[in-house]
Amino acid sequence: MRIVLFGPPGAGKGTQASLLSEKYGAAHISTGDILREAVANKTEVGLKAKSYMDKGELVPDEVVIAIAKGKLGSIGEQGFILDGFPRTIAQAKALDEALAEIGRPLDAVVNLQVDEEELVRRLSGRRVCPGCGEPYHIDSKRPEIEGKCDRCSTEVVQRADDQPEAISNRLSVYENQTSPLLGYYESNGLLMSIPAAGSIEEILGRIAVSLQSKI
Ligand SMILES: [Zn+2]
């Protein structure tokens, strides 16, 4: 299986990527992880990426592409789920070329779709323990003692990122960045849009059914 997974913040993309990786035995390749890995291994492109990250700048396309290609080249027959890459049309085209070279094109591009209202509800309900990092949610995972972390009793907080204004900003950034990519993959006939409301298992089931004809 060779797929790209898209989904806005709060759509459960990371969770679905892990479950798909387990179910199909494909590598879960998250851009954040492979960038950190390349930086930690001090590879040539890793050091280049680090010089941008240290300045708080976006890592340029050609560096991200080089790191992603290196990773894809190393996983062989196993298949992959790309998460967070490609992020631009230039990256998408470079990915197509790299996969064409090795004769293993993408099978599908999965786009998790969730109403904005639901995303805001999910994201604004998040709480986190600043002491140990344990995540909570006011609907689905409340601490046993109101407002106190189960593990270390620190008072749980809402991240600045999960305040309503920051959420609508994150969602519009995502939308602006992703819509050209969705258009690109729609014109290639690879795009599958999956309603991502309901339980984690229901969503996984919908993705699996849609992938049946593709892989
Ligand atoms: Zn804690």
Q: What is the pLDDT of residues 27-71, one digit of tens each?
A: 999 988 899 999 999 999 999 999 999 998 889 999 999 999 889
CA triple 18-21-24, angle to 5 deg: 145
Please give the structure tokens belonging to residue 54: 């240290």
The answer to whether 36 is a known catalytic residue is: no
Per the residue annotation, which of 142, 148, 170, 214 is the catalytic one? Answer: 170
Q: Are 107 and 211 in contact (CB under 8 A)?
A: yes
pTM of the shown model = 0.87
Question: For 138-158, what is each residue's pLDDT tens digit?
Answer: 998 999 999 999 999 999 999
Write down the pLDDT at residue 122. 93
Q: Are 85 and 27 in contact (CB under 8 A)?
A: no
CA of 142 relative to ligand 1 center, distance in Å: 13
The answer to whether 142 is a known catalytic residue is: no
Q: What are phi and psi for residue 107, nearest 5 degrees? A: -85, -40
Burial-class residue 100 by CB neighbours within 10 Å (0-12, 13-18, 19+). exposed
CA of 147 relative to ligand 1 center, distance in Å: 11
Please give the structure tokens belonging to residue 98: 């790299």
Residue 128 has a CB neighbour count (10 Å cut-off) of 19
User: CB-hemisphere CA count at 13 Å for 147?
Assistant: 1
User: CB-hemisphere CA count at 13 Å for 197?
Assistant: 7
Question: Which one-letter DSSP state was computed for residue 39?
Answer: H
The answer to whether 159 is a known catalytic residue is: yes
**Whole-number Å distance between alpha carbons of 125 and 159:** 10
Per the residue annotation, which of 23, 141, 151, 159 is the catalytic one? Answer: 159
Q: From residue 13, how far is each of 7, 8, 28, 71, 132 by CA, in Å?
A: 6, 8, 11, 20, 23
**Amino acid (one-letter) located at 104:** R
CA of 182 relative to ligand 1 center, distance in Å: 39
Per the residue annotation, which of 13, 48, 69, 71 is the catalytic one? Answer: 13
**Whole-number Å distance between alpha carbons of 21 and 106:** 15
CA of 156 relative to ligand 1 center, distance in Å: 8
Mean pLDDT over 96-101 rounds to 92
CA of 152 relative to ligand 1 center, distance in Å: 4
Write down the pLDDT at residue 75. 83
Mean pLDDT over 123-136 rounds to 96
The answer to whether 87 is a known catalytic residue is: yes
Closest CA to 105 of 213, 22, 1, 5: 1
Residue 85's SS3 state is coil
CA of 132 relative to ligand 1 center, distance in Å: 4
